[in-house]
Amino acid sequence: MNNARFRKWIHAVRRGLVNVLSGAPYGYRYVSCQEGAGRASYEIILEQARVVRQIFEWVGRDRISIGEVRRRLQKQGVPTQSGKAYWDRATIWGVLKNPAYKGMAAYGKTRTGPMKPRLRTQRGDPEQPRRPHSTSAVPVDQWHYIPVPAIVCEALFDSVQEQLIENKKHARQRKRGAKYLLQGLLVCKKCGYAYYGKPISLSAGKGKRRSYAYYRCIGSDACRFGGQRTCSNKQVRTDLLEQSVWQDVSSLLKNPHRIENEYKRRLTGNKKNVRWSSSEQLHTLIKKIKRGIARLLDAYQDSLIDKSEFEPRMRRAKERLAKLKAEVKKREDEEAQQKELSLVIGHMQDFADRVSSNLEKLDWLKRREIIRALVKQVEVDEEVVRIVYRVNPPPFVQAPEKGLLQHCLRRVDPAMRYVAGGKAVRWLFLCVMRRAVRYFSEIC
């Protein structure tokens, strides 16, 4: 957000205008400027306001948890603002923390900034956002408030905030940190939801404690979607899938010369299709087009050509100039990449020897770090599990027998088959080597 627009909105907040807010929360209806005779406002919805007061009273007076509030709302059949038949805990928590219900709607609770690194793309989000940014929370003392009609009194609101802190203190301490090697990387190929690790209970294990768990699709849990499953994909044993993924990553690290061979082969093939023979010729063409544009401007200023002839010729010249500049930038990037690649190739054999002797000695945490550094996501389908690297590895020169890709390892269990492949990307070798060297520098 630019500073001029932000200052304009802050000025509107100080005047008490609610039209700077994105919308009205549960319990209110947003009245636009057209409906409100030139001034936007919040209007209380009586039925929803009754539910809000009940939620605050349950927590502030009865001292119950958010989970119990959720169960009571589910039992009463109260729909959410979007019409869902069930309430999420995060939705209830957002209601209890919203100061608008005590009469002071907050503006500026979050701010946008440069996009932060993500472990993997979330369901429904594009891999490359059109406007990449990340949203972060703003401290409470930096919020700006706008008066709105209150639904609960300030004393009850403050009592609820104290009770939320108390509930957090008395909550059962759960084991923090990751429990599964592929946690956060698994995604369902059918529905797009993530896979999560689910341990086997004693009843499900027929009285025996199992040493493994299952990765399960979120979409297959009916309790999350109002009693109706949205996905029928299979669950996969954690030990088998983790072992297969680690073997695949180890194979890639132990044999980096195959990536080098494929890179060189593709680089040679791309050179045959290069349109321009050298960077010097590109710069010469750019200078020539710039001189042509200057002459075209002079001719137009001297009335030697009319506007109808000048505009299309100028547009074509600028388009050609932009293409040539893009080609120059691409060529410069490739040359810089080639120089960096030549430095890394000199240490290829030494790196492969060190990796092959240390991979099996790595502990669970080191393996997890390497997998998360190299693997973008693991897509689970009904019969195939596909490993997608952060830079997709293409089919290698030395493919295994029967013409399969290097990452095609067949298992007896059909759910454990997986294929890793993708487009030929120039950054493959450098990215894999950079990430691998970084994590092996401490142990070698």
Dump the DSSP string for 267-327.
HHHHHTT-SSS-HHHHHHHHHHHHHHHHHHHHHHHTTSS-HHHHHHHHHHHHHHHHHHHHH
Q: What is the pLDDT of residue 177?
A: 63
Do residues 365 and 352 touch, judged by C-beta distance below 8 A? no
Residue 156 banded pLDDT, cuts 50, 70, 90: very high
Looking at the structure, do residues 10 and 31 belong to the same domain, yes or no? yes
Residue 398 banded pLDDT, cuts 50, 70, 90: very low
Do residues 245 and 378 touch, judged by C-beta distance below 8 A? yes
Task: Calculate mean pLDDT across residues 268-296.
Answer: 74
Task: Calculate mean pLDDT across residues 37-46.
Answer: 86
Distance CA 196, CA 371 (A): 17
Helices 428-440 and 238-254: angle between axes, nearest 10 degrees: 110
Looking at the structure, do residues 311 and 250 belong to the same domain, yes or no? no
Looking at the structure, do residues 323 and 284 belong to the same domain, yes or no? yes
Distance CA 58, CA 44 (A): 21
In this predicted structure, the answer to whether residue 5 has a pLDDT above a threshold of 80 is no
Which of 315, 345, 375 terminates a domain? The answer is: 345
Residue 268 inside a domain? The answer is: no
Task: Calculate mean pLDDT across residues 302-318.
Answer: 88
Residue 101 inside a domain? The answer is: yes
Looking at the structure, do residues 165 and 198 belong to the same domain, yes or no? no
DSSP, res 224: G
In this predicted structure, the answer to whether residue 303 has a pLDDT above a threshold of 70 is yes
Q: What is the pLDDT of residue 442?
A: 52
Strands of the sheet containing 186-188, edge to edge, are 186-188, 375-380, 385-389
Question: 63 vs 355, which has greater pLDDT?
Answer: 63
Distance CA 10, CA 93 (A): 27
Residue 151 banded pLDDT, cuts 50, 70, 90: very high
Looking at the structure, do residues 255 and 301 belong to the same domain, yes or no? no
Coil, helix or strand for 385? strand
- The per-residue b/e assignment along 287-303, b for 16 or more CB within 10 angstroms, e otherwise, is eebeeebeebeeebeee
Looking at the structure, do residues 13 and 102 belong to the same domain, yes or no? yes
Do residues 254 and 391 touch, judged by C-beta distance below 8 A? no
Coil, helix or strand for 216? strand
Task: Calculate mean pLDDT across residues 392-402.
Answer: 40
Distance CA 93, CA 206 (A): 38
What percent of the chain has pLDDT above 70?
A: 74
Do residues 288 and 317 touch, judged by C-beta distance below 8 A? no
Distance CA 151, CA 311 (A): 62
Looking at the structure, do residues 163 and 83 belong to the same domain, yes or no? yes
Q: What is the pLDDT of residue 263?
A: 60
Residue 77 inside a domain? The answer is: yes
Do residues 224 and 361 touch, judged by C-beta distance below 8 A? no
Helix (H) or strand (E) holding 137: strand 134-137
Coil, helix or strand for 42? strand
Provide the number of structural domains found in the chain. 4
- Scanning 80-153, the segments in alpha helix (DSSP H) are 89-97
Question: 86 vs 269, which has greater pLDDT?
Answer: 86
Task: Calculate mean pLDDT across residues 116-144.
Answer: 79
Q: What is the pLDDT of residue 411?
A: 36
Number of neighbouring beta carbons within 10 Å of residue 354: 16
Looking at the structure, do residues 40 and 135 belong to the same domain, yes or no? yes
**pTM assigned to the model:** 0.52
Residue 41 inside a domain? The answer is: yes
Which of 301, 320, 345 terminates a domain? The answer is: 345
Domain that holds residue 31: 3-170
Looking at the structure, do residues 87 and 18 belong to the same domain, yes or no? yes
What percent of the chain has pLDDT above 90?
A: 20
In this predicted structure, the answer to whether residue 401 has a pLDDT above a threshold of 70 is no
Domain of 90: which CATH number?
3.90.1750.20
Task: Calculate mean pLDDT across residues 47-74.
Answer: 92
Looking at the structure, do residues 320 and 353 belong to the same domain, yes or no? no
Residue 68 inside a domain? The answer is: yes
Q: What is the pLDDT of residues 237-252, one digit of tens each?
A: 999 999 999 988 888 7
Residue 414 banded pLDDT, cuts 50, 70, 90: very low
Task: Calculate mean pLDDT across residues 413-420.
Answer: 36
In this predicted structure, the answer to whether residue 57 has a pLDDT above a threshold of 80 is yes
| Lowest mean pLDDT, pick from 27-36, 274-283, 307-316 | 274-283
Which of 136, 170, 204 terminates a domain? The answer is: 170
Q: What is the pLDDT of residue 416?
A: 37
Q: What is the pLDDT of residue 372?
A: 84
Q: What is the pLDDT of residue 255?
A: 74
Do residues 220 and 231 touch, judged by C-beta distance below 8 A? yes
Q: List C-alpha distances in Å: 206 to 158, 200, 211, 216.
A: 48, 10, 14, 20
Looking at the structure, do residues 32 and 116 belong to the same domain, yes or no? yes
Residue 180 inside a domain? The answer is: no
Residue 406 inside a domain? The answer is: yes
For residue 78, give every residue at least 6 positions away whose Cβ sits within 8 Å of its Cβ, in sequence order, or none. 51, 87
Q: What is the pLDDT of residues 417-436, one digit of tens each?
A: 333 333 333 444 555 555 55
In this predicted structure, the answer to whether residue 407 has a pLDDT above a threshold of 50 is no
Residue 267 inside a domain? The answer is: no
Q: List C-alpha distances in Å: 90 to 67, 76, 86, 135.
A: 10, 19, 12, 17
Q: List C-alpha distances in Å: 330 to 128, 147, 321, 333, 335.
A: 20, 54, 14, 5, 9
Looking at the structure, do residues 46 and 90 belong to the same domain, yes or no? yes
Number of neighbouring beta carbons within 10 Å of residue 417: 17
